[in-house]
Amino acid sequence: MSDKIPGFSTLAIHAGAAPDPATGARATPIYQTTSFVFDDVDHAASLFGLQAFGNIYTRITNPTTAVLEERVAALEGGTAALATASGHSAQLLCFHTMMQPGDNIVAANKLYGGSINQLNHSFKSFGWNVKWADPADIATFEAAIDDRTRAIFIESLANPGGIVVDIEAIAALAKAKGVPLVVDNTMATPYLCRPIEHGADIVLHSLTKFMGGHGNSMGGIIVDGGSFDWSASGNYPLLSQPRPEYQGIVLHETFGNFAFAIACRVLGLRDLGPAISPFNSFLILTGIETLPLRMQRHSDNAKKVALHLSGHDKVNWVSYAALPEDKHHALQQKYMPKGAGAVFTFGVEGGYEAGVNLVSKVELFSHLANIGDTRSLIIHPASTTHRQLTDEQKTVAGAGPDVVRLSVGLEDVDDIIADLDQALSG
């Protein structure tokens, strides 16, 4: 057997999968079952005690989902992964494993609006706090970190503005401060960017978006980079202290460089319960097989659309890192040389009302709150996804009153441009 490491496209099709041993089925079957039969009492005891790997209950593990987890871990260069019901639930389980009441997360202020809301409001019910920093100014991260900081959280390619973040610089700071760097890689996907190679410790995805890619299934995932020492301090007791529910096992000591993924599964998913359905795992697996083809077409189409809009008389500005004049272009060339993805924003002349008018007049574009579909999508964040934020927070997050966000699809690019032109002319 060759020792050659498979290429990205090969991994996207084959990682984690093999013909079904019972039937010979080549596609991964959908194991649509709630639970699994034990060999005997001893087998059951070993599974419940974490002394053996296997399936107990689909809320915790499932064979279809296991293939999805192994595939995404391989694509990201991680040691293990845990799939969940949605991107938001992946964030919940990730931080639940790190945080205790009174702890805080230092987060980039350029994030998806739903993540800002989750951090600002929902997480406070757990006693978790957030401190905001500017990804364009690394010093603001350093100033925000204190002795209760348990993680730094950024997006590799920030939603909605398509801002490329300097992962290596923030990773170096996180390492110096002894906290893990968590990177949401939803917008870039591992085809465009692999944050673990640049120092990230944990990678998150909303699989609902580009990984699945067809707008038909919900999912999230946590990828363990295997690089963080959870026992170096007493700050991560769920990993470094004996667990009474598992006969005193110390998870980091027992599972080593994939202990974080295990902890998210057996301490978070087991009890909080946001499990992905096997059917959604199957759909997302199918989507991932074409991920490199789709992401390249998304990026190529988006660049052509951004270039067109940058010269349009009804457009005041375009924020897309692949444009040579964009302030994030150098970072895009460093971290995402194959392209800057499908999503970008632009400022429509006329402000809030013009933005609302534009999204009501497109025909090919779908006006909805999602990204990463094969279809081209459009939204006016200030009136929708970021509506819950204050005007100041909207502007900081890149969702000011004139901002329109596009997720450029896989249609013929001339048709995409024609639709925008007719809607802007109205």
Q: Using one digit for the tens of pLDDT, what is the confidence trace for 157-207?
A: 998 778 899 999 999 999 999 999 999 999 999 999 999 999 999 999 999
Mean pLDDT of 85-93: 98
| Torsion angle of C-alpha atoms 391, 394, 395, 396, degrees rounded to 10 | 120
Return the pLDDT at 2. 62
The DSSP code for 96 is H
Q: Using one digit for the tens of pLDDT, what is the confidence trace for 10-20?
A: 999 999 999 99
pLDDT band of residue 1 (cuts 50, 70, 90) is very low
Q: What span, in angstroms and rounded, lies between the C-alpha atoms of 188 and 182?
A: 15
pLDDT band of residue 150 (cuts 50, 70, 90) is very high
Q: What span, in angstroms and rounded, lies between the C-alpha atoms of 101 and 387?
A: 29
Q: Using one digit for the tens of pLDDT, what is the confidence trace for 22-50?
A: 899 999 999 999 999 999 999 999 999 99
pLDDT band of residue 4 (cuts 50, 70, 90) is confident
Return the pLDDT at 398. 74
3-state helix, strand and coil shares in percent for the chain, rounded to the nearest 5: 40, 15, 40
Instruction: Please tell me whether the peptide bond between 160 and the residue prior to it is cis, using omega within 30 degrees of 0.
Output: yes
pLDDT band of residue 410 (cuts 50, 70, 90) is very high
Of 224, 238, 220, the C-alpha closest to 275 is 220
Return the pLDDT at 219. 98
Domains recognised in the chain with CATH numbers: 8-287 (3.40.640.10), 291-425 (3.90.1150.10)
Return the pLDDT at 395. 78
Task: Report the Cα–Cα distance between both ends of the chain, in Å, rounded.
Answer: 62
pLDDT band of residue 304 (cuts 50, 70, 90) is very high
Across the chain, mean pLDDT equals: 95
Whole-prediction pTM: 0.95
390 Cβ contact partners less than 8 Å away, ≥ 6 residues apart: none
Q: What span, in angstroms and rounded, lies between the C-alpha atoms of 155 and 186?
A: 8
Q: Using one digit for the tens of pLDDT, what is the confidence trace for 94-128?
A: 999 999 999 999 999 999 888 999 999 999 999 99
Look at 83-92, 153-162, 392-401 and tell me which has the smallest mean pLDDT.
Answer: 392-401
Of 67, 128, 69, the C-alpha closest to 95 is 128
